[in-house]
């Protein structure tokens, strides 16, 4: 293939801007695959100028390098230092977890190897020379590769095309080195008079280690490090970790304190110019090297050019291949960096749970994965947590007031839009009954509306007539009789300005074509101006009437046999709309600062709690962020949770968003869990985590790490009503946390498949 490409390669003339590992490797690989290519690389610094010290590459990346260029792989293999362990050092203890597998080498040595490879292949390297602007290069070269880093001039010169988004985060960090080799990847925590600091360290040579010191911005300032020059910073950092250094100095390389910036681009190419590495995307150093991503970009770009018949086709293929992988990495990196930003929240955890929490912070390492790597370590964490041997964390009991749940799985509230005049029917009996038989400890109803005007759609259920009460009693009786030990909870709510709309499958949030009813809200702000109706702002009489509707529904819920009541204060419905500054513009006692915006939801809570039986738990669902500028923040969510807990809430069900239509949520696996985690640790109130939790491995990981007390799953229970029982079977668990209905016992093992059946 290389010979064929040498005749007429796609992109015969290539310009590379930036001589970091990504740019150099892209140049070498493109030249190797098509020797006839003319490739010129510009690097404004000297050949041996570099920042940082060590570079970590994964086995996956190395495998790609070996396939694409065995010469480079062999050169790297001779230089690597390898190790398997991670040490977590905290409060005088060292906990080691093994089986991880790392490979690293010095950044300067990596650059030297790539320089040699480029020269051997015939790439023209121009050091100490500023590259011409990409727009000028694009006129004389077939392809321009912009590998010019996080501060990419190319990206900035063409912002209107690449549409970058740069987020600066809350910690300061500095890259340093030590002249001795660590024998493990080391995370060390220092609790100083200024605040919590952390060290990330790893070996990159037989006699050298990278040392990164990181801390929150305010800690950095309190420590006076904002006033230190390079030399003073190095000296001061050495004092924070005396046991590791034992008097040995740290050293720098033009090291400076900086705040990490996450770079995201809507587009990675513009004409025949393409972004690569940090110019296109960044991922926090706590989950791995930016060099790794840049090298993988180069591999994908070279592959695209090899297979394509034109540069535009190649660039489209490159982005299509890399973007999903990069976005996944960036989600994991963001989870990791935010965990370290909030490190002070976690430091009081028991030592093994703290270490497990740290190791699983990005969601890429999980309970099951870590158990395969180091079963003894995971067993020690479980023992510290009091989990019986052979019991997955998800199958441990949990108590809320007078209700003991046999496991940590909740069937999340899901609107079914299948009621008639608010009355649940056979569908609800089968839907909720099937999931009660499926093993979850707690099954939640959909949002049950407290009045006809409080419905979202004509198909929403209610608890405002005797017929509703009788129908719900039929459901709860089935659950308690046929699925003994399963609890059933009711979620009470009022739609507010999001009411009088069509069923979800008919057009979500779309007004009814006929038969609309008037809607109410804290302020006369329609959900979508020009489409949804303008709500009436509730006055004194209206506020009192709605409070009484909630109280009436709560009494009916008790008579209907529900075990738990949840007050819905999320997703932009009425009580949620009082909490958010984006939807509450009142100037009376119920509007203004957060304390005022909390007043009415707390009044409703108190009214319901007063009539709900004392031994039955009551939870509150909140939107922990509006995902919109000027809306509810994570700090607000902590204050909201603390307020409800002070009024008697037994747990907070932590959701996010759906408050305003122009939200920009950061979707991803268990993406809402960090909000629950923070609320749990800062307030001490139990939490229910929800949102893209889809595997039993995720549930085990979140429970054992102490990030949540219960996990609510929605779509997995639509896919499989017996999700919890099947999770037990998959893990070989047959204990009291997941009893099979006697009628289903013969199906408690997976049916045999294949020829041996």
Task: Catalogue the active-site residues.
Answer: 573
How many Cα atoms sit within 13 Å of 65 on the Cβ side?
Answer: 25
Closest C-alpha among 84, 133, 111, 154 to residue 19: 111
CA trace torsion 6, 9, 11, 12 (10° rounding): 40
Q: For residue 496, is it left (φ>0), alpha (ψ between -120 and 50) or beta?
A: left
**Which token pair is 250?**
């740290």
In what helix (H) or strand (E) does residue 690 lie, and over which residues does it extend? Answer: strand 687-690
Question: Cβ distance 104 to 19 under 8 Å?
Answer: no
Q: For residue 717, is it left (φ>0), alpha (ψ between -120 and 50) or beta?
A: alpha
Burial (CB < 10 A; 0-12, 13-18, 19+), residue 508, is exposed
Closest C-alpha among 303, 300, 249 to residue 277: 300
**Coil vs helix vs strand at 148:** coil
Burial (CB < 10 A; 0-12, 13-18, 19+), residue 320, is exposed
Q: What distance separates the 2 farthest-apart alpha carbons in the chain? A: 85
Alpha helical stretches, state H, 34-97: 59-68, 70-79
In what helix (H) or strand (E) does residue 593 lie, and over which residues does it extend? Answer: none
Question: Cβ distance 137 to 131 under 8 Å?
Answer: yes
Q: Which strands, in side-by-side order, build the sheet including 143-146?
A: 124-127, 38-43, 13-17, 143-146, 273-275, 269-270
Partnered with residue 73 across adjacent β-strands are none
Question: Cβ distance 16 to 39 under 8 Å?
Answer: yes
Closest C-alpha among 220, 247, 221, 217 to residue 235: 247
Burial (CB < 10 A; 0-12, 13-18, 19+), residue 750, is exposed
Distances from the Cα of 509 to the Cα of 500, 528, 532, 535, 665, angstroms: 9, 9, 8, 14, 18
* 383: Cβ contacts below 8 Å, ≥ 6 apart: 389
In what helix (H) or strand (E) does residue 666 lie, and over which residues does it extend? Answer: none
Q: Cα-flanking dihedrals φ and ψ of residue 662, to 5°?
A: -95, 25
Gap between the Cα atoms of 43 and 47, Å rounded: 8
DSSP characters for 703-747? HHHTS-SEEEESHHHHH-TTHHHHHHHHTT--STTSPPPGGGGGG
Gap between the Cα atoms of 406 and 398, Å rounded: 7
* 514: Cβ contacts below 8 Å, ≥ 6 apart: none
Gap between the Cα atoms of 653 and 630, Å rounded: 23
């Amino acid at each position: 293939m290389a010979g064929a490409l040498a005749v007429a390669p796609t992109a015969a003339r290539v310009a590379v801007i930036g001589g970091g590992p990504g740019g150099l490797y892209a140049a070498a690989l493109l030249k190797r695959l098509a020797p006839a290519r003319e490739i010129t690389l510009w690097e404004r610094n000297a050949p041996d100028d570099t920042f940082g010290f060590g570079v970590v590459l994964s086995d996956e990346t190395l495998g790609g390098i070996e396939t694409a260029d065995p010469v480079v792989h062999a050169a790297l293999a001779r230089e690597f230092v390898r190790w398997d362990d991670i040490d977590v050092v905290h409060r005088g203890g060292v906990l080691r977890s093994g089986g991880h597998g790392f490979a690293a080498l010095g950044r300067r040595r990596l650059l030297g190897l790539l320089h040699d490879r480029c020269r051997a292949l015939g790439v023209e390297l121009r050091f100490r020379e500023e590259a011409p602007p990409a727009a000028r290069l694009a006129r004389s070269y077939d392809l321009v590769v912009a590998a010019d880093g996080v501060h990419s001039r190319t990206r900035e010169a063409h912002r209107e095309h690449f549409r970058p988004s740069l987020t600066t985060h809350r910690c300061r960090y500095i890259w340093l080195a030590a002249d001795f080799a660590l024998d493990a990847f080391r995370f060390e925590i220092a609790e100083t008079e200024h605040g919590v600091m952390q060290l990330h360290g790893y070996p990159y040579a037989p006699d050298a280690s990278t040392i990164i010191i990181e801390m929150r911005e305010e800690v950095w300032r309190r420590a006076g490090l904002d006033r230190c020059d390079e030399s003073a910073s190095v000296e001061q950092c050495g004092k924070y970790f005396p046991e590791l250094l034992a008097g040995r100095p740290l050293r720098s390389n033009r090291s400076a304190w900086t705040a990490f910036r996450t770079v995201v681009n809507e587009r990675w190419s513009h004409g025949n110019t393409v972004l690569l590495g940090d110019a296109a995307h960044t991922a926090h150093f706590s989950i791995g090297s930016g060099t790794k991503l840049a090298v993988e970009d180069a591999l994908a770009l070279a592959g695209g050019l090899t297979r394509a018949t034109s540069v535009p086709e190649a660039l489209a293929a490159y982005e299509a291949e890399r973007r999903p992988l990069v976005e996944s990495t960036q989600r994991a990196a963001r989870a990791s960096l935010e965990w370290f930003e909030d490190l002070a929240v976690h430091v009081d955890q028991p030592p093994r749970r703290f270490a497990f929490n740290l190791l699983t912070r990005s969601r890429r390492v999980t309970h099951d994965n870590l158990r395969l790597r180091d079963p003894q370590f995971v067993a020690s964490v479980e023992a510290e947590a009091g989990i019986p041997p052979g019991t997955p964390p998800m199958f441990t009991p949990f108590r809320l007031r007078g209700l003991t749940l046999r496991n940590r799985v909740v069937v999340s509230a899901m609107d079914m839009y299948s009621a008639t005049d608010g009355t649940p029917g056979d569908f609800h009996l089968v839907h909720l009954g099937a999931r009660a038989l499926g093993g979850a400890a707690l099954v939640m109803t959909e949002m049950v509306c407290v009045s006809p005007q409080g419905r979202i759609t004509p198909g929403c259920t209610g608890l405002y007539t005797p017929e509703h009460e009788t129908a719900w009693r039929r459901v709860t009786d089935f659950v308690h009789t046929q699925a003994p030990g399963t609890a059933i909870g009711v979620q009470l709510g009022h739609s507010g300005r999001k009411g009088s709309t069509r069923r979800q499958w008919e057009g979500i949030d779309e007004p009814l074509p006929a038969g609309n009813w008037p809607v109410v809200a804290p302020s006369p702000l329609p959900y979508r101006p020009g489409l949804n109706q303008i709500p009436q702002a509730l006055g004194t009489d209206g506020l009192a009437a709605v409070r009484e509707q909630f109280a009436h529904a709560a009494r009916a819920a008790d008579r209907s046999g529900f075990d738990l009541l949840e007050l819905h204060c999320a997703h932009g419905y009425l009580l949620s709309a009082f909490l958010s500054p984006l939807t509450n513009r009142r100037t009376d006692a119920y509007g203004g600062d957060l304390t005022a915006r909390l007043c009415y939801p707390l009044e409703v809570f108190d009214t319901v709690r007063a009539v709900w039986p004392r031994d039955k738990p009551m939870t509150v669902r909140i939107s922990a962020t509006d995902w919109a500028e000027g809306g509810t923040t994570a700090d607000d969510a902590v204050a909201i949770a603390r307020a409800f807990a002070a009024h008697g809430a037994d747990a907070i069900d932590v959701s996010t968003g759906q408050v305003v239509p122009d939200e920009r949520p950061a979707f991803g696996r268990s993406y809402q869990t960090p909000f629950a985690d923070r609320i749990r640790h800062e307030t001490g109130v139990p939490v229910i985590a929800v949102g893209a939790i889809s595997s039993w491995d995720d549930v085990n990981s979140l429970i054992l790490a102490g990030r949540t007390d219960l996990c609510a799953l929605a779509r997995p229970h639509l896919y499989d009503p017996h999700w919890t029982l099947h999770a037990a079977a998959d893990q070989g668990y047959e204990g009291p946390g997941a009893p099979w209905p006697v009628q289903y016992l013969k199906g408690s093992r997976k049916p045999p498949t294949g020829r041996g059946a």
